[in-house]
Structure 1
Amino acid sequence: MLISKGNPMLMGCSRYKDGYNFTYEAECDSAALLIFDAHMKPKERIELDSSMKCGNIFSVYVCDRKLDKSFYCYEIDGLMYLDPYAKAITDCGRFGQTDEKDVYLAAIDVADYDWEDDRPLNYDYSDCIFYKMNVRGFTKSRTSKVKDKGTFSGIINKIPYLKELGITTIELQPAYEFDEIGRFPQLTDTIMSKYGAGTHYSVDKNTRKINYWGYTGGFYFAPKASYSSIASKHPGVFRDYTVEFKNVVKELHRNGIEVVMEMFFTDESTGFILQCVRHWVTEYHIDGVHVYCDESALKALSQDALLADTKIITVYWNGKTGTKKHMANYNNDFQNIARRLLKGDENMLGEFAAISRKNEANSASINYIANNNGFTLNDLVSFDRKHNELNGENNRDGEDFNFSWNCGEEGSTRKRKIKELRMRQIKNALAFVFLSAGTPLILAGDEFGNSQNGNNNPYCVDSELSWVNWKETKEGKEILEWTKALIQFRQNNKILHMPQSLTLSDRVSCGYPDISYHGTNAWYAQMNTYDRHLGIMYSCVYGDEEDHSLIYAAYNMHWENHSFALPKINGTWKVDMSSNVSGAVIEDNNRSVCVEPRSVAILTGTYEIPAKKEK
């Protein structure tokens, strides 16, 4: 084993020449690199002194390719530390569980992988249908009927379902090695008595709280071991579980589905964040990241040439650096406005008209009406109040203002009228999302009425309550078919997913603007404080010059019937979809449509573009 000064530009542990380069940041005068064999027994101790230091970076080159299946950590002042750039970590395969025998060490190397010409799909935001999931919760329930429940492989089992639904992009809640149970604290001198044992930690099972969602710190360069069927099946024996995440990405790409990862950073440096995102894009071929970081790091990500085709999603991108097609914002304003209109609040039509056509040039908008941070869609129409008692915080946690409405009774009910109303409201909400400009996102399970029993913040609940319930029900099937139909309708009509904003003008002289608003009278939408019905018409020719058809979405969020005036066309209108089982009725010789209370109707009609007169 030949040892020399390393390359401080290569952070973490990297294959380098005929050996490995180890680089570690620490504000101290000396440190030690501890190397362990394949059985995690002490093998070598390499002292790191000032000769191997540049600034606060220690770097050493070890010329020995026999280290491939070995492990390492660092020792400073008698304490051992894991490398924040670790690519894989031992003994993390059991979610929310620790043991005094656990040994946490970083793998020196991970296996090579044959990507078979795989590459990110690079879909435009305008063509995407986002589907957000927690990897564990997506298939952990016994109702999921998959082999490897709660794992990356479980997602592979659900790919046919995702394709049939029409999903183009899945967004994963944190799936890197986040610390859900506190297994990586600062070590104490007493723990160091077991030299070479890595980090140990005992958790009081009576007081511990699991971070089920993963919005916390951890080791950002390693996939979550407990989300791997490989690691979870072999606790105490290291198996290279990184291949499983790569298998998931490759299989999803083969089936035309992108992968976006959420990454929650706290006080990490801009350089660290940039290297992390680059690592996941190059090593794991992900298509995008939804990052929580400060503005300087976000700006660096937006301007990085390597990430120019990578989706970068955030919550506050201001676009000051110009148009960035790969940047997007989570549109929480859409959620709140849509929810308030859904439950019938006053003075919401103008705001909804504006937010539903919002499609800024400098970034995309991700629209949703339910997300992991709040009620599921089913609970949004079933509960007036949050019910977070299981979280152990006396129901003080979670959002208090959910803009929800239980439709007449809190929680589950057997009353037919209430159940019918809730069904319409769920369908209405989905129509709001899929008929609006921007990129639609649905929370896993919302497409068939998944419930969390009114818990709007189950960040620490790892049980059937927070896992997606795949049990088939009559109501769930009805919601699922409605969701599929909406997605198909959206994808079939380019005007509903344009890459640029609609202008409310007749730019091609077809006799109709690209988007227009209507109400009791055609071409005039009444948006008074007390009004709760609105017609939005789209001219499809602006999305496809060969498509001379119109789409008319009639939103009636009032508790009374309303008649919508239909613009005159040299053809007929027909009702394609209605959230009310009895449908909508076209009246007055094709000049109006009557829509029942709290319902959405989608109509289509065709027309002929007048021939241009020759000069």
Structure 2
Amino acid sequence: MPEYRTSRGRPLPLGALTLPDGVNFALLCRHGTDVTLVILPEAGGNKPLAEFRLSGKRHRTGDHWHVAVHGLPEVFCYGWRVDGPKGQRNRFDPSRLLLDPSARIISAGESWAATCETDPARTSRRSLYRRHARYDWGDDAPPLTPLEDSVVYEVHVRGFTCDPSSGVRFPGTYAGLIEKIPYLQDLGVTAVELMPVFEWDECDCPFTDPTTGEKMTNFWGYQPIGFAAPKAALAATARDHGQLTEFRDMVKAFHEAGIEVILDVVFNHTGEGNDHGRTYSFRGLDNELYYLLGENGDYLNYSGCGNTVNCNHPVVRDMMMHCLRYWVGEMHVDGFRFDLASVLGRDRRGNVMIDPPVIESITEDGVLADTKLIAEPWDAAGLYQVGGFPFGRRWSEWNGKYRDDVRRFWRGDTGLAGVLAARVCGSADIYQWSSRLPRHTVNFVTCHDGFTLNDLVSYNGKHNEANGEENRDGLDDNCSWNCGAEGPTDDPAVRALRARQARNMMATMMLSQGVPMLLAGDEFLRTQRGNNNAWCQDNAVSWVDWSLAETNADFLRFTREMIALRKRHPALRRRRFFVGPVGQMVPGLDTISFPPGGPVRPADAGLPPTATGDATAAARRSGEWATAGLADIHWHGVEPFRPDFGEGARTLAFALDGRFTGRELDDDYRMDTDFYVAMNSWIDPVEFVVPRSPTRRPWRRVVDTAAEPPGDFLAEGTGPVIAEGEVLRLAAHSLVVLVSEP
């Protein structure tokens, strides 16, 4: 065994810090009484190169254990053995070699699913140290795209390019993602939201394929075992421990293309699971400190994954903050989407807190001040905080109500016209009460969890038999409609209706105020064969089939054009909610129009602050709608200024005044064109009388989702002129967009 010189070391920073002639190791362990650092060869295994039992007097500062070791090799593995009190709430076991929670590289995961653990309680994964040269970021800087101007693209690093049809040199990797940047630029997205890239054990899946009997894998990665370590198996250079550099290369390449990188982070639970789960680090370092425990020492499970992290404990909070600062400061990521973020608002007993300290710390942190913070505002125990996530002015939210309401409206459910109006307006009924803005709603119709867009219009029910749970897993209510046939069909009428429905929902999302988010592959109608919970499907079910970009080129073109339309027009990317009449903002004008209140409060629906419910109702009954005044949005029905928000309504129409884009007080304000949008979710055609343009300019048709491609989207200025008072006959389940002449 080699002889290595040691010194006392220092307590900060935690983890393995490079010194001029060695490495400083620091570990936080409050209740441990006996701590040993173990150095192992680069290849790992259990035969140590050296072991250093730390003295509580010499190598401990408060709760931090530390030692500096000199003369170590350039690359090696290491781990910690910890002993301490015994009892129900403690899990100390010095026979287990624990990962360093601050490790930036974790070994034995270089090849996907190549190292499957045999011991259900222990792991062969090891913390790995490599003396890296300083990374040259050059002039890299974050794009800092304003949220209201963002178009987010949710993508799984492996699944995006793993299929041979991707045509990349390094499939399923960060490098493979770099190869697809030109495609993403052409599509028009401004940010990629990467599904988990924290190290996890993909072999940690208890189910087998019911057809082949083969063990399935944890494909999605929502089971982290190392919060600071990028997933090795997602790197083409992992065999040389190059995942840190390759990840940075990816971020740098995205930034050069003007695209931001947002990470889907999982802090609500870890991959250690419940009482029967494997111990990686936290359970063996200080079980009672890191997890929420019941009276009998059992794990409180607000995450649905077996355990819940004790997020608001000061020590755990500091660990999370250190991790987030690392990903921003050292890895240059631009934001985070927090999985089951409502868990972050629970105290050590699981009670919901009003002002959770960890959320406040993230909100107020200086390093994170320019990063995008996106919450999944619910948890697995029923806490649902859409519109009410703590410290909300700093946080955007996945808007689950938007997803469900858009799906239900286009499915043809009744009573959704007024609700959809609120969703299209940025969900002011949800967000404005807390002084928030349209950018706080992340609007999505599909995401990784649930049906793809193609499956949403092709299946009435889930088909998860391949997951090995006899179709019991996944949501049963998907607000979906198969358009007349379940699954694949050759019926041309059904296929045409499905394509129209997909265009309807994509167009609705791009026309809505807020931040749109697409699921990777939806732009060319990827399918998961009706599987709405493909977390364990590392195969063609989850992989993006790039041949569909040619098969469904018409839909890809439509999506690309809708994104470009949104990016061209600030009227579709407002920074403030609609206020209805804005005559008071234009000197000398005092006439106003009275849009209907719909299902929300007058102030949220674009009504003037002085308008009362009685005044609005009287205006509706008399039909005396002021058309000479100014409003940023006008509500219509099949006739101008006569909207129908009744229980049986299945239509919605509105016009946007191009003079008022929600940016009037900003330096980049410019006048925009007017928009007229009409939607028909009824089973029969409906005729709409076209109102005059708010600025009295001629209308031209741009979008008709019922038209055969390429007529579904016409370049601005080339479509037919539509006159005021003309009757537009919208086909069943279709949407039309008119844009005024410049």
Output the TM-score relative to the length of structure 2. Answer: 0.74
Determine the structure 2 residue equivalent to 1:299: 360
Deviations 1:75-98 (A, max 9, x none): 232321111111112220122231
Please tell me whether residue 567 in structure 1 is matched to residue 567 in structure 2. no
Determine the structure 2 residue equivalent to 1:597: 732
Whole-angstrom distance in 2 between the partners of 1:206 and 1:11 = 43
Determine the structure 1 residue equivalent to 2:38: 34
Shift of 1:18: 4.7
Whole-angstrom distance in 2 between the partners of 1:554 and 1:512 = 20
Shift of 1:480: 0.4
Determine the structure 1 residue equivalent to 2:704: 578
Please tell me whether residue 350 in structure 1 is matched to residue 476 in structure 2. no
Give the 3-state SS of the residue equivalent to 2:674 in structure 1. strand
Q: 2:702 touches 2:739 (CA, 8 Å); kept in 1?
A: yes
Please tell me whether residue 542 in structure 1 is matched to residue 660 in structure 2. yes
Say which of 48, 54, 59 aligns to 2:54.
Answer: 48
Whole-angstrom distance in 1 between the partners of 2:389 and 2:462 = 35
Please tell me whether residue 221 in structure 1 is matched to residue 228 in structure 2. yes
Determine the structure 1 residue equivalent to 2:649: 531
Q: Can you give the 5+ residue segments of structure 1 that lack an aligned partner in the other structure?
A: 184-204, 608-615
Shift of 1:61: 2.4
Shift of 1:512: 3.4
- Which structure is richer in relative contact order (CA contacts within 8 A, separation 6 or more)? 1
Please tell me whether residue 337 in structure 1 is matched to residue 405 in structure 2. yes
Q: How does 1:424-439 map to 2 (within 5 A)?
A: 424-439=500-515
> Which shows bigger deviation, 115-124 or 343-352?
115-124
Q: 1:87 touches 1:110 (CA, 8 Å); kept in 2?
A: no
| 2:330 partner amino acid | E
Whole-angstrom distance in 2 between the partners of 1:537 and 1:445 = 31
Shift of 1:110: 4.9
Determine the structure 2 residue equivalent to 1:191: none
Whole-angstrom distance in 2 between the partners of 1:413 and 1:454 = 13
Determine the structure 2 residue equivalent to 1:279: 326
Shift of 1:426: 0.3
> Which shows bigger deviation, 127-136 or 523-532?
523-532
Q: 2:157 touches 2:195 (CA, 8 Å); kept in 1?
A: yes
Whole-angstrom distance in 1 between the partners of 2:490 and 2:643 = 38
Whole-angstrom distance in 2 between the partners of 1:513 and 1:2 = 76
Deviations 1:3-43 (A, max 9, x none): 23333231111224653221113332112111234555733
Q: 1:568 touches 1:591 (CA, 8 Å); kept in 2?
A: no
> Which shows bigger deviation, 426-435 or 562-571?
562-571
Please tell me whether residue 461 in structure 1 is matched to residue 529 in structure 2. no
Q: Can you give the 5+ residue segments of structure 2 that lack an aligned partner in the other structure?
A: 83-93, 206-211, 270-308, 311-315, 346-355, 378-384, 590-628, 664-668, 713-719
Deviations 1:113-142 (A, max 9, x none): 111121222211101000001111101111
| 2:265 partner amino acid | M
Measured on the aligned residues, the alpha-carbon RMSD in Å equals: 2.4
Determine the structure 1 residue equivalent to 2:492: 416
Whole-angstrom distance in 2 between the partners of 1:106 and 1:399 = 37
Please tell me whether residue 59 in structure 1 is matched to residue 183 in structure 2. no
State the identity %: 31
Q: 1:518 touches 1:565 (CA, 8 Å); kept in 2?
A: no
Deviations 1:296-317 (A, max 9, x none): 3323211212111111111227
Q: 1:110 touches 1:242 (CA, 8 Å); kept in 2?
A: no
Whole-angstrom distance in 2 between the partners of 1:469 and 1:484 = 18
| 1:456 partner amino acid | N
Say which of 513, 517, 520 aligns to 1:444.
Answer: 520
Say which of 11, 15, 22 aligns to 1:19.
Answer: 22
Please tell me whether residue 270 in structure 1 is matched to residue 396 in structure 2. no
Shift of 1:597: 1.1
Deviations 1:441-481 (A, max 9, x none): 00000000100000000111110111111114665111101
Count of matched residue positions in the alignment of Structure 1 and Structure 2: 578
Shift of 1:107: 2.1
Say which of 107, 130, 140 aligns to 1:90.
Answer: 107
Q: How does 1:25-424 map to 2 (within 5 A)?
A: 25-26=28-29, 27-38=31-42, 40=44, 42-51=48-57, 52-64=59-71, 66-76=72-82, 77-98=94-115, 104-111=125-132, 112-182=134-204, 208-231=215-238, 234=239, 238-265=240-267, 266=269, 267=309, 269-292=316-339, 293=341, 294-295=344-345, 296=356, 297-316=358-377, 318=388, 320-321=390-391, 323-324=393-394, 327-358=395-426, 360=431, 361-362=435-436, 364-424=440-500
CA separation of 1:150 and 1:504: change in aligned 2, threshold 3 A: same
Whole-angstrom distance in 1 between the partners of 2:651 and 2:136 = 55
Deviations 1:253-305 (A, max 9, x none): 00011000111121152222111111111111000111134123323211212
Deviations 1:504-539 (A, max 9, x none): 223444843112211122122111111111112111
| 2:634 partner amino acid | S
Whole-angstrom distance in 1 between the partners of 2:188 and 2:26 = 44
Determine the structure 2 residue equivalent to 1:504: 580
Whole-angstrom distance in 2 between the partners of 1:127 and 1:110 = 40
> Which shows bigger deviation, 355-364 or 401-410?
355-364
Give the 3-state SS of the residue equivalent to 1:306 in structure 2. coil
Q: 2:402 touches 2:444 (CA, 8 Å); kept in 1?
A: yes
Please tell me whether residue 554 in structure 1 is matched to residue 571 in structure 2. no
Q: 2:526 touches 2:548 (CA, 8 Å); kept in 1?
A: no
Determine the structure 2 residue equivalent to 1:195: none
The structure with the largest strand share of the pair is: 1
Determine the structure 2 residue equivalent to 1:189: none
Whole-angstrom distance in 2 between the partners of 1:75 and 1:394 = 41
